[in-house]
């Protein structure tokens, strides 16, 4: 609702109903209610703007304090290496040749060193962040 509508409603001095009756007091009550709701909407919009600004500030602070991409590389890469190592140990017990197991682990370590796993997780997180907004 616009301020113009509120002013027109007050100026008309009555509220016409479908049955042909009108009510001066109802028009003023409706105008007051519209102004009240506009005030609430403005307050909610201000709170939303403040929350968005706080989120952006927090993100900027994290980016300034930490190289989050490097931290993610270390955490993700080590988790992948640990999981692959455990799986390959189990595979060796099950009959996989040690040479093949070592070769697979070497490839995984090289991929981790190059940051391939962390990049995949970072891209997935960015896409998720874009779809959440």
- Tell me the C-alpha distance between 11 and 13, whole Å: 5
Same domain, 56 and 101: no
Tell me the C-alpha distance between 101 and 94, whole Å: 11
Are both 45 and 94 inside the same structural domain? no
Residues 52 and 86 grouped into a single domain:
no
User: Cα separation of 114 and 126, whole Å?
Assistant: 19
Which pLDDT score is estimated for 30?
77
Q: Are residues 15 and 43 located together in one domain of the fold?
A: yes
Residue 51 has pLDDT above 90, yes or no: yes
pLDDT for residue 42: 92
Residues 44 and 101 reside in one and the same domain: no
Tens digit of each residue's pLDDT (9 = 90 or more) over 88-107: 988 888 888 999 999 999 99
Q: 124: domain range?
A: 66-133
Predicted pLDDT of residue 116: 83
Same domain, 71 and 61: no
Among 33, 65, 97, the domain boundary falls at: 65
pLDDT interval class at 118 (50, 70, 90): confident
Same-domain pairing of 45 and 14: yes
**pTM for the whole thing?**
0.42
Residues 60 and 107 in one domain: no
Q: How far are the Cα atoms of 2, 35, 39 from residue 42, in angstroms, in the given order?
A: 13, 11, 5
Residues 34 and 61 in one domain: yes
Q: How confident is the model at residue 123 (pLDDT cuts 50, 70, 90)?
A: confident
Domain termination residue (choose one: 65, 90, 106): 65
Do 95 and 131 share a domain, yes or no?
yes
Q: Total domain count for the chain?
A: 2
20, 48, 65: which is the final residue of a domain?
Answer: 65
């Amino acid at each position: 609702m616009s301020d113009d509508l509120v002013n027109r409603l007050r100026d008309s001095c009555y509220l016409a109903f479908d049955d042909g009756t009108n009510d001066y007091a109802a028009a003023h009550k409706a105008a007051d209610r519209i102004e009240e709701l506009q005030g609430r909407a403005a307050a909610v919009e201000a709170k939303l703007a403040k929350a968005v600004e706080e989120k952006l500030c927090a993100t900027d602070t994290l980016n300034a304090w930490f190289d989050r991409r490097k931290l993610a590389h270390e955490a993700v890469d080590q988790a992948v290496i640990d999981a692959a190592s455990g799986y390959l140990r189990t595979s060796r017990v099950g009959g996989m040749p040690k040479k093949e197991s070592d070769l697979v682990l070497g490839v995984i370590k090289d991929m981790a060193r190059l940051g391939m796993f962390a990049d995949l997780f970072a891209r997935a997180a960015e896409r998720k962040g874009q779809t959440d907004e």
